[in-house]
Amino acid sequence: METNAKILLADDSHAIRFLVSEILTNAGFTVVEAQDGQEALEKTYKENPDLLILDYEMPKKTGFEVVQEVRSRPGYLHTPIIIFTANTEKNTKLEGLGLDIDDYLTKPADEDEIVARVKLLLKRNKQKMDCNPLTRLPGNPSIQARVEAEIASGKTFAVLYCDLNNFKSFNDKYGFEAGDRVLKQTAEILVQAARQDPDAFVGHIGGDDFIIVSSFDKAEDIAKEIIRRMDEIAPSFYDEEDRRQGFMQAHNRKGEIEKFNFLALGIGIVHNTQKPLESFAMVSHIGAELKCLAKKHEKGSFYVLDRRS
């Protein structure tokens, strides 16, 4: 559950607000109350809640009217919304689907059901917001949480920092759609290679940077499999002329024509078998150093394992 998530509860019945507010507060949530639709809107924009529970029929503005206005604002497109209603007719729910309502609670709702549905929606929303929209891999909050969990466990582990070489020049020549295809394919290669460790975690830091958290014993095998797969598929990203030449010509940052090798992955492997890793920041710093060393390899994908003690 999201710690101390803030819930907006809007209902014109004082008794229902009191009951549901108590249930949610006891479950660890912060509850903001509103007694009509207009107040629900005002408090939504003022308090910025993590989830809304709106009565279907309220004075001033109905629950659906509140949803319409809230969804018209970009900052609230993904805020989970539950409609609280005594009306279970199919047409009502169909109308709500068109407004992007996440769930319904039928009055009178069971205490366990209220808490369970709120927790589920918050969990789903957190996962959705954390995922990279292109590759669907977990993003930075999940990456940091996983690395910190590994540090706290006291077990040996490894973190593979993966970065594409020559991606900017490829994007410049072939366009962003081609670049997106490369990123999706890279994500797939990493996921496939990481299956050598059933407990491995694959994340997308952003852009052309990815991360894998695995057991130390499997880290080099995973890196070798990534290199094999990436170097095998890389030529297919290019047109026939570039494939025949074995390189790509494009403008560099100075505006001059330069030869660029095919896309490849530079991988830095951080681990705690020779020295302790004390924080996520420390892991990131070492990973960046190693990744830079790997990227200096002239042609093809390459990995560097930290051998310092």
Least confident of 27-41, 57-71, 196-210: 57-71
* Fold of domain 6-130: Rossmann fold (3.40.50)
Alpha helices per DSSP H over 175-309: 176-194, 216-233, 240-245, 280-295
Does pLDDT of 242 surpass 60? Answer: yes
Tens digit of pLDDT for each residue in 105-117?
A: 888 778 898 999 9
d(CA 309, CA 227): 26
Residue type, 178: A
d(CA 206, CA 43): 34
User: What's the pLDDT at 238?
Assistant: 96
User: What's the pLDDT at 1?
Assistant: 44
Q: What would be the CATH architecture of the domain defined by 140-305?
A: 2-Layer Sandwich (3.30)
pLDDT band at 86 (very low <50, low <70, confident <90, very high): confident
Query: Which segments within the chain are labelled E, that is strand?
Result: 6-10, 30-34, 51-55, 81-85, 103-106, 158-165, 201-206, 209-214, 248-251, 257-260, 264-271, 302-305
Tens digit of pLDDT for each residue in 263-289?
A: 999 999 999 999 999 999 999 999 999
User: What's the pLDDT at 106?
Assistant: 82
Residue spans per domain, the chain? 6-130, 140-305
User: What's the pLDDT at 3?
Assistant: 53
**What is the percent of the chain where pLDDT is above 70?**
94
| Selection from 175, 167, 265, 161 nearest residue 205 by Cα | 161
Question: Average pLDDT over the chain, rounded to whole?
Answer: 90
CATH topology match: 6-130 vs 140-305: no
d(CA 278, CA 282): 7
Q: Which residue has the higher pLDDT, 254 or 17?
A: 17
